[in-house]
Amino acid sequence: MNATEYIWFDGKLVPWQEANVHVLTHALHYGSAVFEGIRAYKCSDGSSAVFRLHDHAQRLINSAKILRMEIPQTVDEISAAIIETLKANKMPDAYIRPLSFVGYGEMGVYPGNNPVHTIIAVWSWGAYLGAEALEKGIRVRTSSFARSHVNCSMSKAKAAGNYINSILAKIEAKEDGFDEAIMLDTNGFVSEATGENIFMVRNGIIKTTPLTSILGGITRDSLIQLARDLGYTVEEQQFTRDELYTAEEAFFTGTAAELTPIREVDRRTIGAGHAGPVSKHLQKEFFSIVNGDNPKYKHWLDSYTF
Ligand code: PPE
State pLDDT tens for residues 237-258: 999 999 999 999 999 999 999 9
Residues 130-176 have pLDDT tens digits of 889 999 999 999 999 999 999 999 999 999 999 999 999 999 999 99
- pLDDT greater than 90 at residue 46: yes
* pLDDT at position 160: 98
* pLDDT at position 198: 98
**160 ligand 1 Cβ < 6 A:** no
Strands 138-142 and 258-265: parallel
Separation of alpha carbons 263 and 138, rounded Å: 5
Is the CA virtual torsion 225, 211, 34, 58 positive or negative?
positive
259 confidence band (pLDDT: 50, 70, 90): very high
Is the CA virtual torsion 279, 285, 288, 290 positive or negative?
negative
Residues 261-281 have pLDDT tens digits of 999 999 999 999 999 999 999
Query: Mutation test of ligand 1: which of 51, 196, 224, 225 has the most ligand atoms closer than 8 Å to its C-beta?
Result: 196
**218 ligand 1 Cβ < 6 A:** yes
DSSP 187: T
Separation of alpha carbons 69 and 124, rounded Å: 29
Instruction: Tell the burial category of 203 from Cβ atoms under 10 Å away from its Cβ (0-12, 13-18, 19+).
Output: exposed
Helix (H) or strand (E) holding 58: helix 53-66
- pLDDT greater than 90 at residue 306: no
- pLDDT greater than 90 at residue 1: no
116 confidence band (pLDDT: 50, 70, 90): very high
